[in-house]
Structure 1
Amino acid sequence: MTARTTPPFRADHVGSLLRPKNLMEARAAKADGTMSTEELRAVEDDAIRDVVRLQENIGLQSATDGEFRRTTWHMDFIYQLQGVAQTTEKIEVHFRNANGDLDFSSAALKIDGKVGLDHTIFGPDFEFLKSVVTTATPKLTIPSPSMVHYRGGPAAIDKSVYPDENEFWDDLSAAYAKQVEQVAALGCTYLQLDDTSLAYLNDPAQRADLTSKGGDAEHQHERYIRQINKAISGRPDGMHVTTHLCRGNYRSSWTAEGGYDFVAEALFGELDVDGFFLEYDDARSGGFEPLRFVPPGKQVVLGLVTTKRPELESKDNLKRRIDEAAKYVPLDQLCLSGQCGFSSTVEGNDLTLDDEIAKLSLIVETAAEVWG
């Protein structure tokens, strides 16, 4: 086995990283009006320089900006699309963790105009990241097109704007295609589409909830796959696209459970990405059997290292699980990462910076021993 020189890498990570204390304080100061936008941006710049150096010093071949300029992994992007508006309604998302239940309240969205793109979302952010990396490939993470629909469903789409939902999908994919084209022009060669919907739909409870709201739970994942493919079909040859499937990640808690069986055949066989970041840190993620549908040429990044708990996994156990996965997809098509980001929302998971460093270092060291 050899090291990989193109994304995804043997040792990789999902994207979000724990925000440093001074950045959190600066965000609070901006919120209460005692710090300007420009001053906050300067604090963010310094924090991103530091976290890029951290990733490179650990030995990672990819580096993100930690999503340090965002409040959440997805809505900061989605609200910048034309035609998407924030509402006064709240979406209540029920999360679970080892200690009990936790609820997350988020602003809802509505599609009240034609969906489009009038600027490169996160464009300046990516340009700054690209300017400060030295050895690593800069990776941009954005929510997949599915998330614009899954968050509100058909009920969020104004029928006077889109009497035919197919027109909404055409415009959404076109907006994403434009975004992909524009970030490619900025030099982005590693783009990740983060997606909870394709993982949630593996959970029978999530499918039942979708059905109760009038959704097509049996086939919605197929629609999402088609729309993602339309969004990325025009990417240049030098751009590598991955997707990360997540069952929820908020303050060390999750929403959905279940293996990848329900979506596996369509997901792995039809989604036109270069790699899949998959959660595999505990029993709620199911077994490796669905990986039998992964075709040649696709990479699977095994999220065996949890980002939800500080306890450090053993190398021997990680290697054993990699061997188990290799029964279903060749070892050369496998990589290793954390199961999710460390801070999908600004609050972060219940780990320290030292815990985060230890886990990222473990990923790099284990991958080197397995693949060379």
Structure 2
Amino acid sequence: MANKLPLKGDHVGSFLRTESIKQARAAYAKGEIDKASLKEVEDREIEKLVQKQIEAGLKTITDGEFRRIIWHHDFFSGFEGIELIKNERKATFGGGHKPKPITIVITDKIKNHHHYMIEHFKFLKKAVDKYGDGTQVAKFAIPAPSVIMYRSINEKEKEIYPNAIDMFHDLGVAYREVVNALYEAGCRYIQFDDTTFTGFNDPTFTKRMMDSTGLSKDKILDLIIKTTNDALQDKPEDLITTVHMCRGNFRSNHLHTDGDYAYVAPIFDQLHYDAFFLEYDDERSGGFGPLKYIQRRDVEIVLGLITSKFPELEDPFVIKERIKEASQFIPLENLAISPQCGFASSEEGNVLTEEEQWKKIKHMIQIADRVWRKVSVNK
């Protein structure tokens, strides 16, 4: 039996940027305010966000990724040997939407040296301790190591890392050091966001991974598993680590093609995570059948049954029935629910209002409470 997560109604981490954040970041981009002034606004808005999450009933509290342009590039640029640059990205989401023209490039051997986001976590932890009642936990979301696949590869990188395996080895070491640094800073819940696993259903994405690494599809998957577990090699027993297997999310549109989890579900037992967040908010994710491959009973499967893309509230009866259906493959006590993704994977955010966002969160918590409170009472 798992039950490591603080609440059966969890969330993925990012929230819609407030108007104050948007204005401050725009002013900073124009050179109208300095970095210190921007940080003052971010600090103030994150404290407000922490309070709103607690008021909504959440037990896992994040900083909403308010300091980030986009969920992954900002983090990778915190490693030595990786730089954030302006460059047109190949990714195109549903509806033809394209994210900001930024990407990362490898400029030297990858190393960790006082990753700047450790300070971001410390501020979050301080705010949770200040406004919480001791039952909340500060959760920090970072991209999974495999997300390094989403980058521009130039001739310089090929000289630095002629072998993709060596690059992933260095990345795994750097991640392990960040995980340890977060733990030492008081972090007890790290969520890894991973878009590569669901990408294996996309022939175009798979070909791009194979071309960039020179490896077969199965060998890439093996490399991702190894690098992930290397990052978690020294994980303390009381550190919760989860993975959100995302299908891409930008302005309420997705990136990857349709397909269920049948290809990757058999390897879930090999990954050293405590819980798996899976997107199940529409037919694109397929059915729950692939969950039968998960034999571990020390993990939780978090069903992303609530959409973060649109404001309409899901029918509680339908959600309960879907949870019941999933429980045919995973015991109910090993299940939980969440939105299928964050509300703002990038600073642009999804197409709904802040008020609608909080209604979604409260709606999800109410459903979870009714489902699992009944289970506890029946026991």
TM-score (norm 2): 0.92
Q: Aligned partners of 2:114 and 2:191: how far apart in 1? A: 19
Task: Give the match for residue 124 of structure 1.
Answer: 119
**Offset of 1:103 from its aligned partner?**
2.6
Structure 1 residues 112 and 128, CA, compared in 2 at 3 Å: closer, same or farther?
A: same
Q: How does 1:1-372 map to 2 (within 5 A)?
A: 4=3, 6-7=4-5, 9-96=7-94, 100-133=95-128, 134-135=132-133, 136-148=136-148, 150-152=149-151, 158-211=157-210, 214-256=214-256, 257-266=258-267, 268-294=268-294, 295-372=296-373
Structure 1 residues 327 and 369, CA, compared in 2 at 3 Å: closer, same or farther?
A: same
Q: Aligned partners of 2:139 and 2:344: how far apart in 1? A: 16
> Contact (CA 8 Å) 1:111, 1:156: kept in 2 or not?
no
Alpha-carbon deviations, 1:123-143, whole Å to 9, x = none? 111111111111421000001
Q: Aligned partners of 2:98 and 2:323: how far apart in 1? A: 34
2:346 counterpart SS class: coil
> Contact (CA 8 Å) 1:275, 1:301: kept in 2 or not?
yes
Query: Match for 1:85: what amino acid?
Result: E
TM-score (norm 1): 0.93
Alpha-carbon deviations, 1:198-242, whole Å to 9, x = none? 111133443345446655224322211111000011011111100
Q: Aligned partners of 2:42 and 2:313: how far apart in 1? A: 29
Q: Aligned partners of 2:155 and 2:238: how far apart in 1? A: 36
**Offset of 1:153 from its aligned partner?**
7.7
Q: Which has the higher strand share?
A: 1
Q: Which is worse superposed, 320-329 or 197-206?
A: 197-206
**Offset of 1:173 from its aligned partner?**
0.5
**Offset of 1:290 from its aligned partner?**
1.0
Q: Aligned partners of 1:152 and 1:66: how far apart in 2? A: 24
Alpha-carbon deviations, 1:325-367, whole Å to 9, x = none? 1011110000010000000000000010111111100111011
Query: Match for 1:120: what amino acid?
Result: H
Q: Which is worse superposed, 256-265 or 208-217?
A: 208-217
Alpha-carbon deviations, 1:278-335, whole Å to 9, x = none? 1000001111111112221110111000011111101111101000110111100000
Q: Aligned partners of 2:88 and 2:77: how far apart in 1? A: 15
Query: Match for 2:137: what amino acid?
Result: T
